[in-house]
Structure 1
Amino acid sequence: MQELIQQLQEKAGLTAEQAVKSVDVIKEFVKGKLPPFIAGTVDSWFANMASQSDAKKEGFMDQAGDFLDDMKDKVEDWAEDAKDKATHLAKDAKDKLSDIFQDKKEGNK
């Protein structure tokens, strides 16, 4: 995270305090645009950036790519779960409607 803070200072002319606040704003913005179950991933990613030693730091773009890959996997899992639930709900609704119409059909005989 220090790398990002440093770039904000150099490229945007921010003070250290402004750069740190900017990173916090970015983090909260990203979390606000994602489903709640992914918010922990955002926190983990930023925490991981902050805890890496300078010698082992990956570039910001590499870290962002890893983060986005993780997000993609989670969203795909979420979408698959949502699809399964929607399919199940549609089947249940169809079965109930069929039962209702079958009962009415049999009642009219």
Structure 2
Amino acid sequence: MQELIQQLQAKAGLTPEQAAQSIEVIKEYVKGKLPPFIAGTVDTWFANMSDKPGEKKESLADQASDFMDNVKDKAEDWKDKAEGWAEEAKDKITDFFKDKKQP
């Protein structure tokens, strides 16, 4: 997170407090644009950006890539669920009309 704060200070001329607040605003904005089942990933991604002593930090690009991989995985899970629900609905409708045709 400190790396991003430093970049905002250097590139946008923000104070450390303004940079930190900007990150919070961006985080909330991104969460608001995502479906609820993915929004939690934003919190996780930003939490992983925090400075933890003794841990090797991932670059922002690596973190963004990990975040997008996580979003992609969740989207694929929901796609699979939706396809399953659609198949079940189709089967129920087909069975319903088969029962109506047979006397």
TM-score for both structures, normalised by structure 2 = 0.87
* 1:40-80 Cα distance to aligned partner (Å, 9 max, x none): 21111111111434862111111111111111111111111
**Identity percentage of aligned residues:** 58
Q: Does 1:66 align with 2:85?
A: no
Inter-partner Cα distance in structure 1 for 2:54 and 2:29: 26
CA RMSD of aligned residues (A): 1.8
Runs of 4+ in 1 over 2 A off after TM superposition: 51-55, 97-100
Inter-partner Cα distance in structure 1 for 2:54 and 2:16: 17
Q: Does 1:92 align with 2:86?
A: no
Name stretches of at least 5 consecutive residues in structure 2 with no aligned partner. Answer: none
Size of the aligned set, in residue pairs, is 103
Inter-partner Cα distance in structure 1 for 2:89 and 2:51: 44
Structure that is richer in helix per residue: 1
Q: Which has the larger radius of gyration?
A: 1
Letter in 2 for 1:27: K
Q: Give, in angstroms, the shift of residue 97 of structure 1.
A: 2.8
Q: Match of 2:43?
A: 43
Structure 1 counterpart SS, 2:58: coil
